[in-house]
Each structure stands twice: as structure tokens, then as C-alpha cells.
Amino acid sequence: METLLLLVLILTEIGFCIFEFTRRDVKSEWSKRRLFVCGIEIFTYLLMIILPGIDFGFRFKCLFIILVLRIFISALNWLINRKNEKIKKRVTIILSAVLSLFIIVFSLIPAFIFTDYEGRPISGEHEVAYSSAILIDSSRIEEFENDGSYREVPVHFYYPADTDKIKENSLPLVIFSHGAFGYYQSNTSTYMQLASHGYVVISLDHPYHSFFTKDSSGKTITVNPQFIQNALYIGNSDLPDEEIYPETSKWMKLRIDDVSFVIDTIKKAVSQSPDETWFYDENDADKIRNILNMIDTEKIGLMGHSLGGATAVTVGRRDDIDAVIDLDGTMLGEEIDMKDGKVIYNDEPYRTPILNVLNEEHHLESIEAQKAGYTYINNVIMDNAEYGYTTYFEGSKHMNFTDLPLFSPMLAKNLDMGSIDPEVCIDQVNEIVVEFFDCFLKETGELNISEKY
């Protein structure tokens, strides 16, 4: 429907331009008709609200603001020129039409990029609530700044809303790490599903690796351009290991330190109380305390997508981690050194239960690596896992393990989305995530992970 709306607005502007171009009217008449046309355009938008797919949501908010501003400016222009008898120049008529078309098209970009995605159905018994805080790591200086500030890690909580009915220290904790230039909401449907089944979920941002986030001063922190450039270059180039490893090891150290810091900070706050490490709105103090009171720090699971999955795997070697899920991440944190131009892999037994979820292409590559005798790090870890489970999704690609294909199919296709139905894929992923954590964090139910989905 956004295409129909755009077409109607474009035709209105072109028709007005042609009409005025042939009449050669004075400015007073032109400005009066300009006001009339702006009124028609905003009336058309309001009328089309009754159609499915068009509303006052964020996809059309910019257009609505533009239309309101245009009618206000047109009214002001008419008041100024209502006695102006000078002929309206043709060149200004054309320029006005071109500018109007550009503004309208630009304001409708969100309607074409995004959908009205409002999440997936949750199957647990709990309603889900949300809160957030920022954890300040005074042991680390922020390497992306030169002002000596400390590293800050935003944490976002998804948890059962009926906190008053939940026994103290009874809910397992799951911590999620997003992918390269992702952000904390990348897998919101997963967090919601877990929280509805009685988990406290923390999705953290990795500032400067995250698409955007905010620090404790309220400043918006966007992804570091050099990180984007390096990640894309490495991902699209056939570079030797000695060039790749120094860069990826820096990424992994930053992320591993972030997640480890969050785990340690949460455990300390649960056993004691939030200290100066914590930054949050004072109005949320009771809410944060209630969330912490629910957490059982003896039951901690980690998961993530892409680089976040790799982070979860390496941090998952800690003795206090009970289960790990890697959503289509190459386990770069398990590359521990370089020697004679070759990567040294961590071949120590992986004792934490781990679920390795792959897209179809990565699954086939892992099989080819085994056949060819090529060392692929995920194969190394899974072969050495005491409780290792691997599955893949037919027709899937990298972004199918996030909510992006549902929120913005256009962006997902450009980034790497497969032919599988995105709703079916993410719903199945969320189902096996709950099943896996139920088995190893709650010790309930039976684990029945299929070889493929």
C-alpha cells in the first residue's frame, strides 16, 4: 500500500506542476493552489489510513510530519503573497515540484525498508517486562575514545512481569551477545520467548561494535567505521591467516571482556546490591532490584549470533556457565595463537553443553572441511565437546537467525537472507533454544534436537 500512496502523491505533484506550467499565473494564485494541493495530499494520506499497511506508525511518521509542515508553510506563503501580482516563473514551478517530489520520496523510505513487525507469539505462561541499565567497567579504558573514559556496557533485561509471584533466586539467567554491527534488539523474539518461559534474559550492547547505543551521558554511540571497514574487508577477501588473526583476536577480546564483566557484575549485585558500577534511572531502582532478586546465578546460559555466538562459546568455558548456544557464529575466540603462519586452535575439551546452529551453507562447508582434512574451528570445538549438539536449517542464511528478516526484509536480503520462511525459521530457532536451556539450566524436559530443520 505504501507504493500506492507514493504513486498518488507523485501524480498529484506532477499534475500540479503541469497545470501551473501551462497557465502562467501570478504568485498569489499559484500560492493559493499550492496550499490547496498540500491539503489534498494530507487528506489523501488520512483517507488511506483505512487501508491495510498504512497507519500513523514509525514507518509513516516522517511523511505525516512533512505533510503537516508543508501545509503550514504553504499557508504562510499564501498569506505573504496573496496580493502579489507578479508572474510565477516557470523555472521556480519546476524547482518547487522537484523539491516536493524529493521530500515526499525521502519521507517514505522507512515505509519501504521496514515492516510493521510487532514480534512473534510467545508460548510461555509469563507476560514479559523490560528494563535497562548501563554497567561501567572502571578496570578498562574505552579504546575507541581518547578522553580516558571507562568502558560502558549497556544491558537490557527481559523478564517475567509477575515478579511478586516468583520465588527469590529461582530463575536461570541467559545472556545474549549480538553480531557485528548488530544491536541488542536483534533477537527480541528469542528473549521474549525465553522470558515467557521463566528466564531472565540480558541482551547487552557492545559499544562501537553495535549499530548504535547510548552511554551514561545520553550520547548516541554509533558503530565504529573502521570496525565496519575491517569486518567487511576480511569477510569478502581471501586473506592469509596471519593478516586475519590479529584483527579478529582484537574483536574477540573486547567482546569476551564485555560479557565476562557483565557476568561478574550481575553475580556480585545478586549476592550484594548494585554499586557504583551501575548506572540507571533512580525511578528504576526497585525494578532493577526485583530483577536481580529473581536470578539464580548457579544457572547461567550464554548465547549469541555470529560474532556474539563466537563470544558465547569462549566465555562459555568458565566454570560458572552451564549451557551455550552459538547461532551461526564462527568460533573465532577459540583461535588462540599464531605459529609459523598458521592459527593455533584451542583443542582442550569443551565441557559446557553447547548447541551449534548453522545455516545450510555453513553446514555444507563444515562437512567439506571434514572430508578434505581442513581444520575448521567449529568442527574442532564440537568434536571436543562432551555435550555437543549441531543442527542446521535448510534454505537458511546468516540473517535468518535474527528478527531482521521480519523487521526489514529489504535489509536482510542485502545482508544475507535465505529462501526459508523467516517466521517459520525464527519460531523453530526459539523453540529449540527454550528446549536446550530447559534441559541444561532447568533440568526439565527431554532434549530432542534434530540434525536439520
pLDDT at res. 141: 97
Do the bridges between strand 295-305 and strand 323-327 make them parallel or antiparallel, or are there none, so unpaired?
Answer: parallel
pLDDT at res. 416: 87
- What are 214-237's pLDDT values in tens digits? 999 999 999 999 999 999 888 777
| Residue 452, in any domain of the structure | no
Q: Which of 113, 136, 171 is the last residue of a domain?
A: 113
Assess whether 32 and 145 both reside in one domain: no
* % residues pLDDT > 90 (the chain): 64
| Residue 283, in any domain of the structure | yes
Q: Per the structure, how many domains does the chain have? A: 2
pLDDT confidence bin for 305, thresholds 50/70/90 = very high
Assess whether 21 and 74 both reside in one domain: yes
pLDDT confidence bin for 8, thresholds 50/70/90 = confident
Assess whether 306 and 400 both reside in one domain: yes
pLDDT at 60 over 90: no
- What are 387-401's pLDDT values in tens digits? 999 999 999 999 999
Q: Which residues contact 22 (CB under 8 A, 6 or more apart)?
A: none
Range of 32-46, 98-112, 322-336 with top mean pLDDT: 322-336
Distance, CA of 36 to CA of 44 (rounded, Å): 12
Residue 272 near residue 278 (C-beta atoms within 8 A)? no
Distance, CA of 185 to CA of 177 (rounded, Å): 10
Assess whether 261 and 344 both reside in one domain: yes
State the DSSP code for 350: B
Question: Over the chain, what is the mean pLDDT?
Answer: 92
Assess whether 225 and 274 both reside in one domain: yes
pLDDT at 161 over 90: yes
Q: Which of 79, 113, 147 is the last residue of a domain?
A: 113
The CA-atom distances, in angstroms, between 76 and each of 13, 72, 94, 312, 417 are 19, 6, 20, 58, 48
Range of 163-172, 239-248, 428-437 with top mean pLDDT: 428-437
CA 117-122-126 angle, 5° bins: 130
Assess whether 50 and 152 both reside in one domain: no
pLDDT at 24 over 90: no
Range of 58's domain?
2-113
Assess whether 306 and 215 both reside in one domain: yes
Q: Which of 113, 136, 152 is the last residue of a domain?
A: 113
| Residue 122, in any domain of the structure | no
Poorest-confidence range of 53-62, 68-77, 192-201? 53-62
pLDDT confidence bin for 238, thresholds 50/70/90 = confident
Higher-confidence position of 257 and 87: 257
pLDDT at res. 146: 92
| Residue 123, in any domain of the structure | no
| Residue 169, in any domain of the structure | yes
pLDDT at res. 427: 97
Q: Which long-range contacts (CB under 8 A, 24 or more apart) does 14-17 make?
A: 14/97, 14/101, 16/97, 17/93, 17/94, 17/96, 17/97
| Residue 174, in any domain of the structure | yes
Helix, coil or strand: residue 213: strand
Assess whether 106 and 164 both reside in one domain: no
| Residue 220, in any domain of the structure | yes
Distance, CA of 207 to CA of 140 (rounded, Å): 13
Assess whether 402 and 300 both reside in one domain: yes
Higher-confidence position of 322 and 35: 322
Amino acid identity at 146? N
CATH of the domain at 161: 3.40.50.1820
Poorest-confidence range of 103-107, 239-243, 254-258? 239-243
| Residues 397-419, mean pLDDT to the nearest whole number | 92
Q: What is the pTM of this model?
A: 0.88
pLDDT at 86 over 80: no
Assess whether 134 and 206 both reside in one domain: yes
| Residue 451, in any domain of the structure | no
- What are 362-379's pLDDT values in tens digits? 999 999 988 888 889 999
Assess whether 234 and 375 both reside in one domain: yes
Poorest-confidence range of 96-100, 189-193, 305-309? 96-100
pLDDT at res. 212: 93
Q: Which helix (H) or strand (E) holds 185?
A: none
φ and ψ at residue 336, rounded to 5 degrees:
-105, -10
Assess whether 104 and 135 both reside in one domain: no
